[in-house]
Amino acid sequence: MEAIKKLDGEFSFKKLEIAANGARMFAHIEGKREIDIGGKDTVRPTLILINSMDGSTRFGFKVGAFRLVCSNGMIAGMAMMNILIRHTSGVDFEAILNSGHKALENLEKVSIPRWRRMKDTPVKPEYAIKLLQNKKLGIPDRLNNRILELTKETDMITLWALYNHYTYHLTHEYRGSEERRLFISSAVERVLGNL
């Protein structure tokens, strides 16, 4: 908490979950500043922290943005930061948060222009989903099939809208671990952000 207080801007806990008698933790820490990406669509700087005392998950720290429209829990972070560290006795939280501060600075310089471009970039859903079906990405077939089903009547869609379809299902319907959800989300970001 002391390190988080040193970040620029005001941040507060949106969600804090403790499980397994205190052995596992998930925290969603959100900034108060809203950033417009166009079309009345806004995002908010976000920090996601996961950790465990029982070794069931690695220490994880992700810097991204929370999408405010549709309240779908979208975590976006194409040019941001995602750290997973296996458990050791020497995790330097302050150094990690300092790196997170630099990633937050890149939000407006790199990520926001990219998201604005995605809002204006049409793509055939079948083409993009085919790229996401690469087994090396680790995206579950049922998720790709669900998105394909939702977009089968659509000839063209924007990259942003397609990304939101994936993120909605990852935040509302996915029942796996938070670490796995973040991994899948990052894979979707990587592919769609580079089309």
Q: What is the pLDDT of residue 77?
A: 46
Contact 33, 46 (CB under 8 A): no
What's the pLDDT tens digit per position in 128-169? 999 999 888 888 898 999 999 989 888 899 888 888 888 888
What pTM was computed for the model? Answer: 0.64
Question: Which distant-in-sequence residues (6+ apart) come within 8 Å of 50 by Cβ?
Answer: 24, 25, 26, 27, 57, 58, 59, 60, 178, 179, 182
Phi-psi region of 6 (alpha: psi -120 to 50; beta: other; left: phi over 0): alpha
Enumerate residues 6+ apart whose C-beta is below 8 A from 157: 122, 123, 124, 125, 151
- CA-CA distances (angstroms) from residue 166 to 33, 49, 89, 147? 25, 21, 36, 7
What pLDDT score does 82 carry? 58
